[in-house]
Chains A and B, each alone.
Chain A
Amino acid sequence: MKRYVQLENVQKVFETKKGRFVALRDINLSVHEGEFVSIIGHSGCGKSTLLNLITGLSTASDGVLLCAGREIAGPGPDRAVVFQNHSLLPWMSCFDNVYLAVERVFGAQESKTQLRQRTHDALKLVGLTDAAHKFPHEISGGMKQRVGIARALSMQPKVLLLDEPLGALDALTRAHLQDELAKLVAAIGCTTIMVTHDVDEAVLLSDRIVMMTNGPAATIGQILEIDIPRPRERLALAQDAHYLRLRGEVLRFLYGRQYIAA
């Protein structure tokens, strides 16, 4: 398998008023094409910082970041992002929010009809055909997050980056969207990197889980391979011994020596 996203000795230092703050150090990670990787760690350890580096919204203080063999120089539509707080533009309908992305990526080579069709398809994929002409403030939190996912997927990105995409949702809606997300990503097959707080979510969706140590100067503590065959059934897994062992491993990392040391 090809290495698609590659981080070598990445370091991120923030220059603050109180001096240098080392947020990340010695991050080495390579993600294969089509792989689903989760990043998990305690609040404030630097998960968003790491994701923003891959997105290109901020630049590393040191180290090399590559995507498809090329240096990441800034953000671009080949790496679509689903933001933690949906980030839909409130003055546009759901349709227009997605259309803005579609138009940007395919506007040069496709007709208006084709662009509209793509937008419809993306919204249909997340089951929001009926809400297309509603505005963000008129729909629920779960629906907003789905529009955000539709917007990201509509761009047919090479890499999908998710920053706690379901973090703000209640447990039921979250479980439902996790299942949907698993299906969508499997169908499209794009490389996915997801930041999460939720151990079950990480185990259920990922091929590998990257566990980060606590900050400051956080780094990758352990990487866990999740070799559960897909498709994964939430209910069946609840009693699956292997699943429980993997889940226990993540919990041990998060609440074990790490936690005491902190």
Chain B
Amino acid sequence: MNVVSVSKEWQKAEPKVAKIETISAPEPAAIPPAAGVSVLKRYGAVIFNILRALFPAALGLAIFVGLWAIVAHRSGLPGPMPTWNSALKLFSDPFYQRGPNDQGIGWNVLRSLSRVGMGFGLAAVIGIPLGFLIGRFAFLSKMMSPIISLLRPVSPLAWLPIGLYVFKEAQPAAIWVIFISSIWPMIINTAVGVTRIPQDYLNVARVLKLSEWKVFTKVLFPAVLPYMMTGVRLSIGVAWLVIVAAEMLTGGVGLGFWVWDEWNNLNVEHIIIAIFVVGIIGLLLEQLLLLLARRFDYAEK
């Protein structure tokens, strides 16, 4: 057969996906007499691979702890061992309650998380729809862009006095700070996602003459979802970053207040523990959202 192509068709040619028999399947059914040995070998290899994957991270942590020990030795900060022991004691009873200013670490974490949840939740409820509108209507985008550029770089804590003045109370003021500092990434990423929807998908919608609702649910929303999830992830990051500082200033039960309280008690071990707790919870939040984002990623390979 001779196919005459008029132009440089090869530029568009997709790589041909060859059908290759899978040969990577684990050992065929017929296992030789020395089966036990081969199974052992295989598990050995698996364990070896896991160790090899974890090794760099473990080495990094070990060096970190080592440096910490040295610095602690020189400066009088609590070293890794005393901190570890103190942490064991602290976490043996995380949910005690002795008066309003002396509660277990568990309560402090939960209260901080709930503030972040409320502030961030409000920001999502307002920020994501706003992002859609800004992305969809150029006029709105031009209208909002100076406001966003002006307010976004403001340091989160600068909003605290306004919150205190308006709400006359610490709790809503802290939530307000979380809200105002975590709303921007969601607005911006959602709006960018909307403007980046490939024209092809919109053309499909136009040719089919889908209703506005169908366009939104079947085309716009799924196309924007990955961008939106990035915004959500960044927002949670910011919110968690800000909560400690906000609580230091507003008081009440919470990780930030706890750090400040322990500083007043000069319990440096607990301050270091708090730093780790904040870091680990931030890491977990990030991983959780990454996992969620991956579920929504339609992976157009």
Question: Which residues of A approach B to under 8 Å, CB–CB?
Answer: 40-43, 55, 57, 74-77, 79-81, 83, 85, 87, 89-92, 100-101, 104, 135-137, 140-141, 155, 167-171, 174-175, 197-201, 234, 238, 247, 251, 254
A80-B207 in contact given A89-B201, A174-B3, A200-B2 (Cβ < 8 Å):
yes
The reply on B9 being an interface residue by CB < 8 A is yes
Bound: A81/B12 CA distance, A = 20
B1, B5, B7: the one contacting A175 at CB < 8 Å is B1
Q: Is the CB of B218 within 8 A of A100?
A: yes
Q: Is B206 an interface residue (CB 8 A)?
A: yes
Q: Return chain A residues, CB-CB under 8 Å to B299.
A: 90, 137
Q: Are B209 and A87 in contact (CB under 8 A)?
A: no
Beta-carbon contact of A83 and B222 below 8 Å: no
* A83 close to B5 (CB less than 8 A): no
B17, A140: Cβ atoms closer than 8 Å: yes
Per a CB cutoff under 8 Å, which of A57, A74, A197 touches B203? Answer: A57
On whether the beta carbons of B7 and A171 are closer than 8 Å, the reply is no
Contacts of B58 in A (CB 8 A): none
Chain B residue numbers with a CB within 8 Å of A42 are 6-7
With A89-B201, A169-B14: A200-B209 Cβ-Cβ less than 8 Å: no
Produce 1/0 per residue, B2-23, CB < 8 A to A. 1111111100111011000000
Task: Report how far A81 CA is from B14 CA in the complex, Å.
Answer: 21
At the interface, yes or no: B57 with Cβ under 8 Å from chain A?
A: no
Q: Which residues of A contact B298 (CB under 8 A)?
A: 90-91, 135, 137
1/0 contact string of B207-234 vs chain A (CB within 8 Å) = 1111000100011001100000000000
Asked if B39 is at the interface (CB within 8 A of a chain A CB), the reply is no
Which residue of B3, B201, B207, B208 is within 8 Å of A198 (Cβ)? Answer: B3
The answer to whether B200 has its CB under 8 Å from any CB of chain A is yes
CB pair B17 A43 closer than 8 Å: no
Q: Which residue of B lies closest to A145 (CB)?
A: B14
B301 at the interface (CB under 8 A from A): yes
Contact for B208 among A90, A101, A168, A197, CB less than 8 A:
A101
Partner of B206, one of A75, A135, A254: A75
- Secondary structure at the B interface, as helix, strand, loop or mixed, is loop
Number of A-B contacts (CB under 8 A): 101
**Does A170 lie within 8 Å of B208, measured CB to CB?**
no
Which single residue of chain B is at the shortest CB-CB distance from A97?
Answer: B204
Q: Which of B131-187 contact A (CB under 8 A)?
A: none
Q: Is the CB of B207 within 8 A of A77?
A: yes
Cβ contact within 8 Å between B208 and A100: yes
Assuming the contacts A85-B200, A89-B201, A90-B300, asked whether A197 and B7 have C-beta atoms less than 8 A apart, the reply is yes
In the complex formed, the residue of B with least CB distance to A86 is: B200
Q: Are B1 and A238 in contact (CB under 8 A)?
A: yes
**Contact A89 B6, CB 8 Å, known A77-B207, A83-B200, A169-B14:** no
Q: Residue-by-residue, is B82-125 near A (CB-CB < 8 Å gives 1, otherwise 0)? A: 00000000000000000000000000000000000000000000
Q: How far is the CB of A74 from chain B (nearest CB, A)?
A: 8
What is the interface size of chain B, counting residues whose CB is below 8 A from a CB of the partner? Answer: 32
What's the minimum C-beta distance from B133 to chain A, rounded to whole angstroms? 22
Q: Looking across the interface, which residue of chain B has its beta carbon closest to that of A100?
A: B218
Q: B203 contacts which chain A residues (CB < 8 A)?
A: 57, 75, 81, 83, 87
Residues of B within 8 A of A175 (CB): 1, 3
The reply to whether A87 and B200 form a contact with Cβ atoms under 8 Å apart is yes
Residue of A whose beta carbon sits closest to that of B4 = A199
* Closest A residue by C-beta to B226: A91
Q: Which residue of the partner chain A has the closest CB to B208?
A: A104
> Which B residues lie within 8 Å of A100 (CB)?
208, 210, 214, 218
Contact A40 B6 (CB under 8 A): yes
Please indicate the chain A residues that have their CB under 8 angstroms from the CB of B223 in the complex: 91
Assembly CA distance A234 to B12 (angstroms): 25
Complex interface residues of chain B between 39 and 71 (CB less than 8 A to chain A): none
Tell me the nearest residue of chain A to B222, going by C-beta. A91
From B12, B16, B201, B207, A167 is in contact (CB under 8 Å) with B12
Among A136, A171, A238, the one with the most B-chain Cβ atoms within 10 Å of its Cβ is: A171
B207 close to A171 (CB less than 8 A): no
Closest chain B CB from A98 CB (angstroms): 11
Closest 7 pairs (CB-CB, A-B): A91-B222, A91-B298, A141-B14, A43-B7, A87-B200, A90-B300, A197-B6
